Amino acid sequence: MANRAFRSMLFLAALALPSTAGHSQDSDPVAIVQPTFSSEFADFRELPDTPEPGPEAVDLDTFDPPVEVEPATTSLGSGVASYYGKRFHGRRTANGERFDMHGYTAAHRTLPFGSRVLVTNPRTGRSVTVRINDRGPFTRGRTIDLSRAAAEEIGLIARGHGTVELALLD
C-alpha cells in the first residue's frame, strides 16, 4: 500500500511540472543559454599590445611633467642668527601672539609681521622657512632670532648662533 501511495505522489508531481512539448526555447521559462566563443581572442598572442589611445593616454616620450614653481625670493643677504626658547616660551611676542618655541617663527628688527623668510645655514646646507612674529634681536651684531625648533632644523643649537643667509619669500 505504501508503495502505491508513493507512486501516486510521483505521478501528481510530474503533472505539476511544466511541459516542454510544443514550446519554443524562447518561451521556456528555464531556457539554457549556450556560451558563445569569440575567435577574436582565441589565442592570447592575438591580443593587442597597447590599448588604443584615448583622452587619458599620455605619450611618455614627449611628456613634460608640470614644473613646480618655487616662490619668488628676494635676497636679504647674510647675517648672524641666534635662537630663543624655553625662557620666553608662552610670553607675548611683539605682534601679540604667544611665543611657541616649537613653532617655526622668528624675530627681526624691521621686516613686517607675517613675512616669511627662508633661513639657510651654509655650514650644513639646511634651510627652514620662518614667519616673523616678534621684534629683535637686541644683541649687537645679530640679524635674526629664530625659535628653538627652527634653529634645531638648520643646526644652530650646539653653537648657539651662526652665520646664515636670508631670503624674503613673496
Confidence grade of residue 48 (pLDDT, cut at 50, 70, 90): low
Which residues partner with 126 through β-bridges? 121
Rounded to whole angstroms, what are the CA distances from 75 to 89, 97, 170? Answer: 30, 27, 11
pLDDT score, position 137: 95
**pLDDT mean across residues, the chain:** 80
Greatest pairwise CA separation for the chain in angstroms: 121
Q: Which residue has the cell 521556456?
A: 28
d(CA 40, CA 49) in angstroms, rounded, equals: 14
Residue 158 placed within a domain: yes
d(CA 75, CA 155) in angstroms, rounded, equals: 21
Confidence grade of residue 118 (pLDDT, cut at 50, 70, 90): very high
What is the CA 33 to chain-centroid distance, rounded?
49
The stretch 2-23 carries a mean pLDDT of: 57
Residue 134 placed within a domain: yes
Residue 116 placed within a domain: yes
Residue 66 placed within a domain: no
Q: Are 121 and 164 in contact (CB under 8 A)?
A: yes
Residue 142 placed within a domain: yes
* Number of compact structural domains in the chain: 1
DSSP secondary-structure letter at 17? S
Q: What is the pTM of this model?
A: 0.59
Residue 107 placed within a domain: yes
Find the CATH number of the domain harbouring 85: 2.40.40.10
Asked if residue 130 has pLDDT above 60, the reply is yes
Domain of residue 91 covers 73-169
d(CA 76, CA 165) in angstroms, rounded, equals: 8
Residue 44 placed within a domain: no
Summarised one tens digit per residue, pLDDT across range 159-169 is 999 999 999 99
